[in-house]
Structure 1
Amino acid sequence: MSSAEPEEPRVGLSSLPRELLRAIVVLVGAQDEAVRTSGVPLETAPRDQASQANGKWSYWYGHGVSALSLVNGTLRQLALPFLCQTVKPTQLAHPLFQFGAVASALVASITELDVISVSSASFAAAALALTNLPSLRILTLCFNLLAEIGPLQNRSNGSRDATVSIRRDLGSRAFKANKSKIVELRVKKIPSDHDMCALQELEPFAVVQSIRRISLGVHGRRVGQVPPACGPLLPLLLRLTNVQDITIDDDIEGRAFPALMLEAGLKGVSVTCTALRSLKLTTMWDPPLFFFIHEFAPNLERLDLTLTSAATNNGEDPDDPPPFPRLTHLRLSGVRQCSVALAYADFVDLSSLEIFLEHPPHGIVDCDDLIPYSVVLPAGLRLHLRTHTLTVLKDLDILEQRCRNAHVVFTHDKHSPLTAFATAKPSVMAWQGPAREAAVDEALVAARDRLSRMTSTEDKHGVLAMAQGLRKVAEGNLLASL
């Protein structure tokens, strides 16, 4: 009697090594983030079908890690650290958090506390939870947070306001006792003309000298009104002695940083962050801009510059542009002329340059003069150009040849891809037409490739989703045939 053949081992997701499963979770998490920021409309709650409903795609697009956590115990353990890395006070005020009913692995994965929108009760709950968040290192808050939590005690409603005041005061003490945890601050709504010093506002929440990364969101008066003084920022920046990464996000036409440096100069103060390695700056264009940046961050390695106004040189080359010997990565973003700024600094060791162009009013970018010919592109540079989907590139071949001659690696891609499928007025179709046609053609080619793959793998749900997505096209074909 012959013995039975041994069963083949089951092969599936659960049979993979733990290290590989963790890598899958990490990749799915990155894909989730890309989906959520893609502009594709998603359902806000799970549905039975993974196809489109009411013009929106399934909730599970962008929530792949959550789906993985429901497969089995192993994947749940691996997925938990990715499910709640940022927490808000309202969540910490929930009984599940307050009574310790949340999985310890999930709590241990919380790295950021966002207290932008907070009441006195949720602020107190967040303060009480600080000692139970071992991995907390990032705090996101608005300027003048304590004053916005609630009013001081008054005669008309003394009991309620006294409770608010107690929560605020005891909560701020708890934050102060745990402020050594914080190494990264994200501060929103900093008024450029406020009398209160940002340093005083932030000291209850972090040891300023220990901050390694800080993001400052500045807002204030608009053009035609009093220029920003940036009084709140100057004392703060003077104390950021160990900061390595600064972001200044400015919504007042990018005037905050130049105003800050000019104010420091008038006061005879040198604002220099020698430890700073990465700077992300939204600012208006001004020929002395790179001199300001060089003074502010002499050891800069990465610079992300968004220009709110066109960079112009008035036909003149700058004299003695400041050197940035350690800068290896530069990203320029803004209107068509943003790359003119390259002529105003000496990037001797640049290895990566990205130019991100907004959509120009006329829809055309002339690549022949995109980068000033006075700018010498270093050999080995990686130059990446990102343009709007509806932007027409003129003389792209000239730029490509120039890069080849300089031994520069050139790549190009497009952003805002869904714009090509939005409605447009007939008056603008004349210059958008070719770009729209190209985008539609690319979508059709990709759709045919996807349909072929789904047919070969018998992906019925995928075919159904594509059929639903193409229904409008089929309806148009039907009407045209009648």
Structure 2
Amino acid sequence: MSSQDSAKPRAGIDSLSKELLHRVVALVDQQDRAVAGSGVSLASKAPSTTSGSGVTKLPEGKLSWWYAHGVSALSLVNKRLREVALPLFCRSIKATQLSKPIFQFSRIPAGLLAGIETLDFACADLDSYAAAAIALDRMVNLREIRLSSFDKESLERPRRVDGAVRKAQDDRDSLTWANEAFRAAAARFTALEYHDVRFRDHLDQVMQRFTEASSLRKLVYSIGSTRDTLHETLRSRTQLEELDLSNSKFSLASLLVSDAMGELQLELPLLATLTACCSDLNSIRHLGTVAPSLCRLSLRLADISQGASVEGDAIKIALPHLEVLELSGYASCAKALSSFDTPALKKLELSITKSQSPALECASFLPANWAPPAGLDFHLATHRLITLDNFDSLEDRCTAQGMRFSHRYLAVLAPFEPRGTDVAEPTDEPSEARKQALLETISWAEEHLEKVWDDGDVQGLQELAEAMKMVAQRKQLDAL
């Protein structure tokens, strides 16, 4: 090496542009989320020593904790990377957290608040509601409001502070100011999740408080309201691009109704993603007219094995732009494939969560009269307790028809399913998968208990106690 070359400064991270650092962190964040959602078994915590942090696999055979925490690792390299990574550490926050002193006295870095995208009003009272309104200006990237167990009456009810009833006028002033702050910011919010809200009869009032019809792009609706209420709400929000009704107590068919003249009463021309329940395919035959731009459809279907054969029916649900179709429920949901006309389909996922028998014939998963588009990705997910017969023949058929086939077991909670009426318990050896899942859950519960205790999280402790209630009951029975 010449003396001239040796005199050149070495290139390092500090020499990289901020734009490039942002790109590096964004790619690592994308990888972290992919790993976290893949179901890969990871260690429960980071290695305790520096020497162990570079080990690819830990002693128990799991991948290192760092595999899903690459952004955290990057933030430890230097100050510049930490500044870039900071907004990715907190994407969601609860209103109850914003009322804590650490937020009230601005002890949280501005970069961390700038990364918040979702505000959750679970168990919010007037103080936390007002605190969230105060923090709106600092949460510059806030786009989603999540209403869960949010009771407007609790915001208006007089409360005691240090044994005395606080002045009702002060509370009314705080509530009025907070309402005005959220209404003024409503155009910023493009997504609304609506879960088990106590004032479900005032859906339009809530929508007007937190969103504007022209800006709302995503709606997740998980309560059992009347069809007319939701129908009117959707009719005035034709800009919706994503709609999730999967946890609602009514079927998608109740929205796709026509008037006395046979005209459809609902149009969602920009809707690209729809998740819902369906009990009758015939009742959603006009779905392509209501949502002509639909690209992704996820349906949880009722058992159609006892009714008329779907394969022989003339039902055709034309969805010319649909690229992803996800069907879940009983094994009979596969019969619905022949009812869809989807020339642009690229991905098909069947999730068999229930079965009338412990064994299923794989040939039933693809209707004989259904011709898949060329190059289709076919993903089959089945309950771990369901046995698949003639699996090789299914793989061979997929190969012959030019489909890329993959199979997985429904993960995480599948081993915890009880011996219910839908899936029979195997009669052979106890499930190793179930044992491992239980051990991992017990380990997580112990670590989570320490965390909520150290944080003084009363709500988190109560939630964990509720989750462990049945275990405690079994302990008492065994002690008798």
Structure 1-normalised TM-score? 0.72
Residues 241, 272 of structure 2: 8 Å contact kept: yes
Pairwise CA distance, 1:6:
6.1
Cα deviation per residue 1:19-70 (whole Å; 9 max; x = unaligned)?
77655544553455466664969769996798999xx999877554334323
Distance 1:380 1:61, change over 3 A: closer
Distance 1:137 1:195, change over 3 A: closer
Residue in 2 aligned with 1:175? 182
Residues 324, 345 of structure 1: 8 Å contact kept: yes
Higher RCO (C-alpha 8 Å, min separation 6): 1
Q: Could you list the runs of 5+ residues in structure 2 that have no partner in the other structure?
A: 437-480
The 5 Å alignment of 1:317-396 reads 317-358=312-353, 360=355, 362-396=357-391
Residue in 1 aligned with 2:29? 29
Residues 45, 59 of structure 1: 8 Å contact kept: yes
- Quick one: distance in 2 between partners of 1:271 and 1:359? 32
- Quick one: distance in 1 between partners of 2:406 and 2:375? 13
The 5 Å alignment of 1:40-439 reads 63-142=69-148, 145-151=151-157, 159-189=166-196, 196-219=201-224, 229-252=226-249, 255-262=250-257, 270-281=265-276, 283-310=277-304, 314-315=308-309, 317-358=312-353, 360=355, 362-416=357-411, 428-430=425-427
Tell me the amino acid that sits aligned with residue 288 of structure 2: H
Residues 385, 425 of structure 2: 8 Å contact kept: no
Residues 137, 183 of structure 1: 8 Å contact kept: yes
Cα deviation per residue 1:184-233 (whole Å; 9 max; x = unaligned)?
11111257xx87242222101111232111111124xxxxxxxx633331
Greater displacement, 161-170 / 113-122: 161-170
- Quick one: distance in 1 between partners of 2:341 and 2:385? 33
CA RMSD of aligned residues (A): 4.4
Pairwise CA distance, 1:373:
1.1
Tell me the amino acid that sits aligned with residue 86 of structure 2: L
Greater displacement, 379-388 / 161-170: 161-170
- Quick one: distance in 1 between partners of 2:104 and 2:117? 18
Secondary structure of 1:76's partner? helix
Structure 2-normalised TM-score? 0.72
Residue in 2 aligned with 1:223? none
Residue in 1 aligned with 2:460? none
Cα deviation per residue 1:126-168 (whole Å; 9 max; x = unaligned)?
10111222222211124765334342699x9763544433322
Tell me the amino acid that sits aligned with residue 277 of structure 1: A
Aligned pairs, number: 421
Greater displacement, 107-116 / 39-48: 39-48
- Quick one: distance in 1 between partners of 2:383 and 2:12? 41
- Quick one: distance in 2 between partners of 1:202 and 1:399? 47
Residue in 1 aligned with 2:440? none
- Quick one: distance in 1 between partners of 2:226 and 2:245? 15
Identity across aligned pairs (percent)? 28
- Quick one: distance in 2 between partners of 1:29 and 1:244? 25
Residues 43, 57 of structure 1: 8 Å contact kept: no
- Quick one: distance in 1 between partners of 2:330 and 2:121? 34
- Quick one: distance in 2 between partners of 1:237 and 1:421? 37
- Quick one: distance in 2 between partners of 1:102 and 1:121? 19
Tell me the amino acid that sits aligned with residue 209 of structure 2: P
Pairwise CA distance, 1:320:
4.2
Residues 35, 62 of structure 1: 8 Å contact kept: yes
Distance 1:52 1:183, change over 3 A: same
- Quick one: distance in 1 between partners of 2:145 and 2:204? 15
Tell me the amino acid that sits aligned with residue 29 of structure 1: D
Greater displacement, 182-191 / 74-83: 182-191
Pairwise CA distance, 1:259:
3.0
Q: Could you list the runs of 5+ residues in structure 1 that have no partner in the other structure?
A: 220-227, 441-482
Greater displacement, 133-142 / 291-300: 291-300
